[in-house]
Amino acid sequence: MDWAVTARTSVPHVRQVDADRELSTWLLVDGTPSMDFGTADLEKRELAVAAVAAVGFLTAGIGNRLGAHVVTQEAVRRFPARGGRNHLLAVLRTLLAAPRLDGAGPAPALADAIDGLHRATARRGLMVVVSDFLDGLPDDETGEPAWEVPLRRLGARHQVLAVEITDPRELELPDVGLITLVDPESGQRREVSTGDRRLRARYAAAAARQRQQVRAALRRGGATHLALRTDRDWVADLVRHVQAQRRLAGTPRGRTPGGFHPGGPGGAA
């Protein structure tokens, strides 16, 4: 009972207090060779770093902490959850300075990295997975990606934001004649005649199915989906996403500390 307000208004008032709990944000950042690709304004790796910086600054606040798992070619590098601007800048410097190791061998699977993040974070919080989600996709149209079940487990305990990074050349091929395509993960090469209209159409259709698989798997996994492209204004896309999720949240009770609300089930607050 709020006796002071009750005495002033002669109407009974009950005070309800929302505790502004500390927010723990964990980042899982894909730093494998497939992210070292870009044909527009940015490489996918650079866009991933920008997304990490945006999430880090948006969730910054007194008592809030940020940790990171960075998937590299050799292993998963882990940064403990800490507060402060210097800690975030150290994570960003590590991402920017990561060496390029195209075709140097198989990188850790995204599914295993998500499982590792789930095992390492007992306290409920905000989990942000930044990747192109190309690892572990099924060969058929109806199968589940290898990372879907781990993502579902992660989403059962935490609030999950999946930041999908794509490049326009992953969605369609331009007509530029004969080109050599290289798989950055395995080093395999293949010559492709992009002058073939039917080949470009098949490529675009297969890419559209692939991205639909990713979107469907993220939705089934309970994650909120934020799609960023190297040929778009990523700041505008991020702002639109945050504004849309805040509208969906509706009330202050739906917002996470720090003012960032990625949406999705199982809020961190």
List the Cα angle 50/98/125 in 5-degree steps.
50
Instruction: Identify the CATH number of the domain defined by range 23-168+214-254.
Output: 3.40.50.410
Q: What is the pLDDT of residues 118-135, one digit of tens each?
A: 999 988 999 999 999 998
pLDDT of amino acid 122: 83
The pLDDT of 168-175, averaged and rounded, is 92
pLDDT of amino acid 16: 60
Cα 265 to Cα 154, 165, 219, 255, 269: the distances in Å are 12, 22, 11, 12, 11
Q: What is the pLDDT of residues 176-227, one digit of tens each?
A: 999 888 877 777 888 989 999 999 999 999 999 999 999 999 999 999 999 9
Task: Supply 79's token pair.
Answer: 């940064």
Q: Which of 184, 190, 204, 187 is nearest to 135 (CA)?
A: 184
The mean pLDDT of the chain is 84
Confidence of residue 18 (pLDDT cuts 50, 70, 90): very low
Q: Is the pLDDT of residue 249 over 90?
A: no
